[in-house]
Amino acid sequence: MLPKKLQNKLNTRKGERTLRTLPSSVKSEVLVDFSSNDYLGFSKNKAIFSRASEILKEYDLQHNGATGSRLLSGNHKIYQIAENFIAQTHKVEAALIFNSGYDANVGFFSSVPQRGDIILYDELIHASIRDGMQMSLAKTYKFKHNDLEDLEKKLITWSKKLDKDGVIYVVTESVFSMDGDTPQLQKMAEICSANSAKLVIDEAHALGVFGTGLIDKLALGHRVFARLVTYGKAMGCHGSAVLGDTDLKSYLVNFARSFIYTTGLPPHGVATIIAAYEELVNTENKAAHQLAENIRFFDEKIADLDLKSVFIPGKSAIKSVLIPGNKQVKSVENTLKLAGFEVKSILSPTVPEGKERLRFCLHSYNSQAEIVEVLQLLEKSLK
């Protein structure tokens, strides 16, 4: 039986209608998917599935599990092959695979920023980064969302107060998971360089949607101290990697506790990462082109239906429409679900009260007819 304090917290969630429960996979499978992060359909890509098995055969790896931490028995040769491949693809010195994006962010931010350092982070940064920062000995301060003027003011202020060997880390996402918008990354990189700050970028929702990520697309790799890429979204598999130089990789191997004290990914999971990258950079791959077309078409239709004012602007595969109030946004979600569409509502406290929204995730496999129908239903629901 739960302690009373814990039961009270659950009861509060129930009373506020914000209690989280695991969805029924059977029901979700019959709905049109506008909710998953499988932007390119790679999670069900048969060529990737088959190629992963071929890779394992090539290197004679017939293992179901890693058997231990990578620092003990779990560092199968497929890891070095994958990390070299990832580094070459992103044109960086080194890559280090973590078990998930959460593990990577917690490991990085809990170990890299030190006492006397300062972290300046976008106020809408992901929860995994916040959790990592809470474990850090560095001081943390937020800047207004995508507000470079506010960031620059804080950089100038805190640069003057830094210890002699102190470092300022500036942290943002290239695509924000709740809003789907993007900061002015080129200008941000210039500001960081001018103020001797180290820029850290989470590319979880950019990899695959924008080729190998917005940092690569904008040729900003040389200006970024570290970036995170995850494989459970557009890449359709699992795991993540921190990209940087060889010294950063060595440091994380020695001090990132979420890397050191966990069993490594199984060889098949690592082989699937390689296969997904091969599919992503394949010039004949049509999924990325179709996704880009669906994003363009979705934006065109929300303008045609006069819905532009309620959507958060952004060019990514994430399109969020603000519907304040948990009860109100859940009602619209249920209306769309009854019509056969899976679109998830994001409730407070996951987002601030008054910023509740429906989050549409677009995919290469969504048809234009499905986009038109779901937006027409949304328009009627909002009226």
Same domain (yes/no): 31, 171:
no
How many domains would you assign to the chain? 2
Q: Which structural domain range is residue 128 located in? A: 59-281
Which of 266, 281, 296 is the last residue in one of the domains?
Answer: 281
Taking all residues of the chain, what is their mean pLDDT, rounded to a whole number? 95
- Cβ-Cβ contacts under 8 Å for 75 (sequence gap 6 or more): 264
Q: Which residues pair with 96 in a beta bridge?
A: 242
For residue 15, is it within any domain? Answer: no
List the single range of 88-92, 148-152, 279-283, 295-299 with lowest mean pLDDT: 279-283
Mean pLDDT of 205-231: 97
Q: Do 207 and 301 belong to one domain?
A: no
At position 48, the amino acid (one-letter code) is I
What would the pLDDT profile of 169-195 be if each residue is shown by its tens digit? 999 999 999 999 999 999 999 999 999
Q: Quick one: which of 373, 346, 341, 372 has its CA closest to 358?
A: 346
Q: Which of 37-51, 79-93, 276-290, 310-324 has the lowest mean pLDDT?
A: 276-290
Q: Are residues 110 and 259 in the same domain?
A: yes
Percent helix, strand, coil in the chain, to 5, is 45, 15, 40
Is the model's pLDDT at 27 over the cut of 90? Answer: no
Same-domain pairing of 169 and 260: yes
Looking at residues 368-375, what average pLDDT do you find? 98
Specify the pLDDT at position 247: 98
Q: What is the pLDDT of residue 285?
A: 79
Nearest residue to 202 via CA among 130, 296, 144: 130
Quick one: tokens of 47? 């060529």
* Domain presence at residue 52: no
Measured over all CA atoms, what is the biggest interatomic distance in the chain, rounded to whole angstroms? 61
Q: What is the pLDDT of residue 368?
A: 97
Concatenating the DSSP letter of every residue in 255-294 gives H-HHHHTSPPPPHHHHHHHHHHHHHHH-TT--HHHHHHHH
Neighbours of 153 (CB within 10 A): 12
Does residue 325 lie within any of the structural domains? Answer: yes
Is residue 350 very low, low, confident or very high in pLDDT (cuts 50, 70, 90)?
Answer: confident
CATH code of residue 322: 3.90.1150.10
Task: Kindly state the average pLDDT of the residues 253-274.
Answer: 97
Whether residue 14 is contained in a domain is answered as no
- Using CB atoms within 10 A of its CB, is residue 306 exposed (0-12), middle (13-18) or buried (19+)? exposed
Pick from 243, 266, 281: which residue ends a domain? 281
Is the pLDDT at 26 greater than 60? The verdict is no
How confident is the model over 281-286, as a mean pLDDT? Answer: 82
| pLDDT reading at 122 higher than 70 | yes
Residues 269 and 295 in one domain: no
Mean pLDDT within 350-378: 96
Mean pLDDT of the 134-143 span:
97
Q: List, for residues 243-259, the tens digit of each pLDDT value.
A: 999 999 999 999 999 99
The answer on 195 and 166 residing in a single domain is yes
SS3 215: helix
pLDDT of residue 37: 97
What does the pLDDT read at residue 164?
A: 87
Asked if residue 275 and residue 378 are part of one domain, the reply reads no
pLDDT-derived band at 28, boundaries 50, 70, 90: low
Q: How large is the average pLDDT for residues 335-355?
A: 93
CB 74 within 8 A of CB 99: no
Helical ranges in the chain per DSSP H: 4-15, 25-29, 46-58, 77-90, 101-111, 127-134, 148-161, 185-194, 214-217, 246-255, 257-260, 267-281, 287-304, 326-338, 368-382
What is the structure's pLDDT at 18? 81
Domain's final residue, options 235, 263, 281: 281
**Do 156 and 264 sit in the same domain of this protein?**
yes
Q: Is residue 176 part of a domain?
A: yes
Average pLDDT over residues 107-128: 97
Residue 237: inside a domain: yes
Asked whether residue 3 is assigned to any structural domain, the reply reads no
**Do 158 and 272 belong to one domain?**
yes
Counting residues of the chain whose pLDDT is more than 70, the rounded percentage is 99
Say if residue 254 is in the same domain as residue 324.
no
CB-CB contact of 88 with 274 (8 Å): no
124: CATH: 3.40.640.10
Question: Does the residue 124 lie in any domain?
Answer: yes
Question: How much is the pLDDT for 336?
Answer: 97
Region 261-281: mean pLDDT is: 97
Pair 150, 265 in one domain: yes
pLDDT in tens, 146-165: 999 999 999 999 999 898 89
For residue 17, pLDDT beyond 90: no
Q: Binning pLDDT at 50, 70 and 90, where does residue 25 land?
A: low
158 & 36 share domain:
no
Instruction: Give the whole-angstrom CA distance, residue 248 versus residue 374.
Output: 46
